[in-house]
Chains A and B, each alone.
Chain A
Amino acid sequence: MLQDLTATVEAIRKKQTSVLEVAEYYYSRSKNLDSKIGAFITLNPNILEEARALDKRIASGEDLGPLVGAQFAIKDLLCTEGLRTTAGSKILAQFIPPYSATLVDRLKKSGALVLGKTNLDEFAMGSSTETSAFGPCRNPHRLDCVPGGSSGGSAAAVAAGFSMAAIGTDTGGSIRQPASFCGIVGVKPTYGRVSRYGIVAFASSLDQAGPMTKSVRDAALILETICGHDPMDATSSGETVPDFANNLNPEVKGLKVGLPAEYFAEGLDPEVKQVVEKAIGELKKLGAQIVEVSLPLTEMAVPIYYLIATSEASSNLSRYDGVRFGHRAKFDDRPPEDLEEFYSRTRGEGFGAEVKRRIMLGTYALSSGYYEAYYRKACQVRRLLHDQFIEVFKGCDVILSPTAPTPAFRLGDRIKDPLQMYLNDIYTTSTNLAGLPGMNVPGGLSKCGLPIGVQLMAGHFCEQKMLNVAAALEQAMGFNQGVPNVGS
Chain B
Amino acid sequence: MSAHDWEAVIGLEIHAQLLTESKIFSSDCARYGGGDNEYVHPVSLGMPGTLPVLNQKAVEYSTKIGLALGCEINSRSVFARKNYFYPDLAKGYQISQFEEPLCRQGALEFYVEETLHKVLIERAHMEEDAGKSIHQGDATLVNYNRAGVPLLEIVSGPDMRSGQEAAEYARMMRRVLLYLEVCDGNLEEGSMRCDCNVSVRRKGDSKLGTKVELKNLNSFRFIEKAIEYEIQRQIDTIEAGESIIQETRLYDSAKNRTFSMRSKEEAHDYRYFPDPDLLPIELTDTWIENLKKTLPELPLARQQRFHRDYGIPLVDAANLTEEKDLADYFELVAKDSGNPRAAGNWIMVELVRELRESKCTVNEAPVLAKDLAKMIRMIDDGQISGKMAKAVFQEMWKSGKDPEAVVKAKGMVQMSDESAILDVICDVMAKNQAQVEEFRGGKEKVFGFFVGQVMKATKGQANPEVVNRLLQEKLKGSS
Contact = CB atoms under 8 A, between A and B. Distances in A.
A74 B53 CA distance: 25
Interface in A218-256: 231-235
A481 interface: no
Contacts of B272: 371
A205 B276 CA distance: 6
A375 B273 contact: yes
Contact of B49 (A201, A343, A371): A201
A85 B85 CA distance: 24
Given A318-B91, A366-B273, A371-B273, A324 B47 contact: yes
A279 to B, nearest CB: 34
Nearest to A347: B85
A220 to B, nearest CB: 26
A198 B53 contact: no
B304 interface: no
Contacts of B49: 78-79, 97, 101, 196-201
A235 B276 contact: yes
A324 B47 CA distance: 8
A3 interface: no
B93 interface: yes
Nearest to B83: A315
B51 interface: yes
Contacts of A325: 47-48
A315 B271 CA distance: 9
A128 to B, nearest CB: 23
A46 interface: no
Size band of the A side of the interface? 35 or more
B90 A366 contact: no
Interface in A165-218: 196-201, 203-205
B53 A233 contact: yes
B365 interface: no
Contacts, number: 97
Contacts of A150: none
A79 B51 CA distance: 13
Interface string A91-104: 01001011101000
Nearest to A98: B42
Nearest to A322: B87
B48 A235 contact: no
Contacts of B90: 319, 324
B46 interface: yes
B138 interface: yes
Contacts of A203: 276
Contact of A99 (B42, B54, B142): B42
Nearest to B279: A234
Nearest to A342: B87
A363 B270 CA distance: 10
A263 to B, nearest CB: 27
A67 interface: no
A361 B85 CA distance: 18
Interface string A241-279: 000000000000000000000000000000000000000
A311 interface: yes
B232 interface: no
Interface string A310-329: 01100101110101110000
Given A234-B278, A312-B276, A323-B142, 20 more contacts: A98-B42, A199-B49, A200-B48, A201-B277, A205-B276, A232-B51, A233-B53, A235-B51, A235-B276, A311-B273, A315-B81, A315-B83, A315-B92, A315-B93, A315-B273, A321-B87, A324-B47, A339-B85, A366-B273, A367-B271
28 contacts: A79-B48, A101-B49, A196-B49, A197-B51, A198-B50, A200-B48, A203-B276, A231-B53, A232-B53, A234-B51, A235-B51, A235-B276, A315-B92, A315-B273, A318-B83, A318-B92, A318-B93, A321-B85, A321-B87, A321-B92, A323-B87, A324-B46, A324-B47, A324-B90, A343-B85, A368-B269, A371-B272, A371-B273
Q: Which 4 A-B pairs have the closest CB atoms?
A: A318-B92, A366-B271, A204-B276, A205-B276
